[in-house]
């Protein structure tokens, strides 16, 4: 398996980005041989599983950069784990078991973006009170019980995507209860379910989008102005 352009994740980013972000995704285990020297110099001490997911994310990011017409460039992690994007670019990387993705955009087009992928149902019910606020838990309780674990994980994923979108711009470290996620509409989906999201966090309201495909949830936020 190698990385490929992701129409799915681009459709999640289109919610408020007008197709100005490019996304790529990859199934399977990442190949450490695809890392560039500046990246492997940092990663070589890590456990093999961590190196593989790191490589899978970088491979996706480089494919997306190539689609923007850019040559392969390193994206070493900064001390806080944020990728160092090449000058003039912003982006986001995510991985969960068997899946990795990245999205990039020119900073002239988007100030920031955040994407997050989770396996459906990954958020165990005993963690819900830590991750979800009162209103989110009340909303969840109104959903059909077989779907509650899915929606709890969607909200968790959206908080992670929002964190990755805002942190490079604001420097904020947010607690989970400092963001409230609204799931705006659920088409009740046959196949690829797509839904609109809204995050409210420290006075900011930003639309986003989420989707579920083949057991993977992905959520995305873009910050334009």
* Min dist. Cβ of residue 184 to ligand COA (A): 18
Burial code (b: 16+ CB inside 10 Å, e: under 16) for 7-19 equals ebbbbbbebbbee
Check: CB of residue 7 under 8 Å from CB of residue 69: no
| Residue 221 structure tokens | 């936020």
The distance of Cα 52 from the centroid of its chain, to the nearest Å, equals 18
Check: CB of residue 92 under 8 Å from CB of residue 162: no
Expressed in angstroms, the distance from the first to the final Cα of the chain is 37
Strands 193-201 and 180-183: antiparallel
- The site that binds ligand COA (CB under 6 A) totals a number of residues, namely 24
Site string for ligand COA, 20-59 (x = CB under 6 A): ---------------------------------xx--x--
Of the residues 69, 81, 141, 171, which one makes contact with ligand COA according to CB under 6 A: 81
Q: Per rule CB under 6 A, is residue 83 in the interface with ligand COA?
A: yes
Nearer to ligand COA, 10 or 157 (CB): 157
- In order of 37, 94, 213, the CA distances from 8 in angstroms are 31, 14, 9
Q: Which residues are CB-contacts of 113 (< 8 A; sequence separation ≥ 6)? A: 13, 17, 21, 90, 91, 92, 103, 105, 165, 220, 221, 222, 223
Nearer to ligand COA, 77 or 86 (CB): 77
Nearer to ligand COA, 37 or 191 (CB): 37
Site string for ligand COA, 151-180 (x = CB under 6 A): --------xx-xxx--xx-----x-x-xx-
* Min dist. Cβ of residue 190 to ligand COA (A): 27
Of the residues 17, 21, 89, 93, which one makes contact with ligand COA according to CB under 6 A: 93
Point out which residues bind ligand COA (CB under 6 A): 53-54, 57, 77, 80-83, 92-95, 116, 159-160, 162-164, 167-168, 174, 176, 178-179
């Amino acid at each position: 398996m190698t990385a490929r352009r992701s129409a799915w994740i681009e459709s999640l980013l289109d919610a408020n980005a007008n197709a100005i972000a490019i996304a790529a995704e990859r199934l399977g285990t990442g190949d450490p041989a695809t890392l560039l020297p500046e990246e492997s110099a940092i990663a070589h001490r890590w456990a093999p599983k961590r190196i593989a997911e790191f490589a899978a994310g970088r491979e996706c990011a480089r494919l997306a950069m190539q689609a923007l017409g850019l040559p392969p460039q390193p994206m070493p992690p900064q001390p806080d784990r944020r990728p160092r994007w090449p000058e003039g670019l912003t982006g986001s990387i995510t991985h969960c078991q068997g899946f990795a993705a990245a999205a990039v955009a020119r900073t002239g087009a988007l100030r920031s973006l955040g994407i997050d992928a989770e396996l459906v149902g990954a958020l165990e019910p005993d963690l819900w009170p830590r991750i979800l606020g009162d209103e989110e838990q009340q909303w969840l309780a109104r959903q059909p019980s077989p779907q509650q674990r899915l929606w709890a994980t969607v909200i968790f994923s959206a908080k992670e995507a929002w964190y990755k979108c805002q942190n490079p711009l604001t420097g904020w470290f947010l607690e989970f209860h400092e963001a409230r996620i609204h799931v705006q509409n659920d088409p009740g989906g046959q196949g690829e379910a797509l839904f609109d999201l809204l995050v409210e966090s420290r006075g900011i309201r930003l639309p986003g989008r989420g989707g579920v495909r083949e057991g993977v949830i992905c959520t995305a936020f873009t910050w334009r102005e």
